[in-house]
Structure 1
């Protein structure tokens, strides 16, 4: 593994926690503060179209 991959992996381990999805309000496992939409909502047409 290269150095950059190791840094990203370590950062993900530090910031991972349960967060509330900003669309459906359900709790999900987030991989950092920038990950606020759950996978279920990201797969919906509204998310993909930017509505």
Structure 2
């Protein structure tokens, strides 16, 4: 219950992932998106990116 009231700590990352996906028309997988995020100075583990993309 407590966790539901907390803000989402990956909200910014989710919007960045959505933007990258729409730019490349869904052709990028989690590896390429992770690389793009690192180019934009967003450090996320590849497993986290994969989980957020599900």
Same fold flag (TM > 0.5): no
Structure whose CA Rg is larger? 1
Instruction: Compute the TM-score of the two structures, normalised by the length of structure 1.
Output: 0.29
